[in-house]
Amino acid sequence: MRLYALAIYLFLYVPIGIIALFSFNAGRHASQFTGFSVQWYGKALSNPFVMDALRTSLTVALASATLATAAGTAAALGLQSVRGRVRAVFDALVYVAVMVPGIVIGIATLIALVTLFGWINPVLAALWPEGGPVPQLSLGIGSLILAHGLFSMALAIIILRARMAGMDRSLVEASADLGATPWGTFRQVTLPQILPAILAAFLLSFTFSFDDFIVAFFVAGSNTTLPIYVFSSIRRGVTPEINAIGTMVLAVSLVILVLAQAILQRGRRPARAA
């Protein structure tokens, strides 16, 4: 079993290690290591197309993570008061949203947005004053933010529900018995206890959005995110510059994931102590 586990880990991580190694290649071929150099990192960071795609990815990731965390927190708090079969149905829907393949989410979101734009655009054209350009809703950064926000919201709900399951409910009940308003109870009692989970949900939602390619490919329109740029580039051949971009994205993603895990672990300690 140990040899089997070792073989699985090698199969998963050796290709990633090779990409990181060849990102320091001094030559122009991704498969021939001719010397150590960091020139490709400099070229990637000075490439205007890469930086434009990076700005788009960061904008979408920050906005969608904020949307997903806010909506997920509200949904998780609302589900706390739901019991019985209704709660089981909502829990199942949340987990199904995470399990659905990305290509299905991308196609479904594309169809839904195109249909919605087909209804709204004629109404805007009819109501807009004559003489001015009529605004038209289309695929772009807005659709990317909505698609990633909806997908990440389910992840945020799961993280927050897990934190709320270990929350000390007696403090909430004591606050209500002492005459605190629902908002005061949330601000002074509930929020401090779930804040680590909120931060972790934001970081993980940011990572999922920043790294996503499948959903973005369907709803990005004319915009290019960093994963879409990398996919378009490797169709012409893999270069050490692509390896450098992949290594930097991997490093940032690992840092965010470790930070999110550390925040979650730190948030669980007080609950265990109580």
Give residue 59's pLDDT band: very low, low, confident or very high (50, 70, 90).
very high
> Which pLDDT score, from 0 to 100, does residue 69 have?
92
Tens of pLDDT along 219-230? Answer: 888 888 888 888
Does the structure show a pLDDT above 60 at 52?
A: yes
pLDDT for position 271: 47
Please provide the CATH number assigned to the domain covering 48-273: 1.10.3720.10
Q: How confident is the model at residue 38 (pLDDT cuts 50, 70, 90)?
A: confident
- pLDDT in the model for residue 172: 67
Q: State the pLDDT at residue 63.
A: 93
Mean pLDDT of 256-270: 71
Is residue 89 over pLDDT 80?
yes
Q: Taking residues 20-24, what's their average pLDDT?
A: 83
Domain ranges of the chain: 48-273
pLDDT at 254: 84
Choose between 63 and 5: higher pLDDT.
63
Q: Is the pLDDT of residue 273 over 60?
A: no
- Please give the distance of CA 228 from its chain centroid, rounded to a whole number: 15
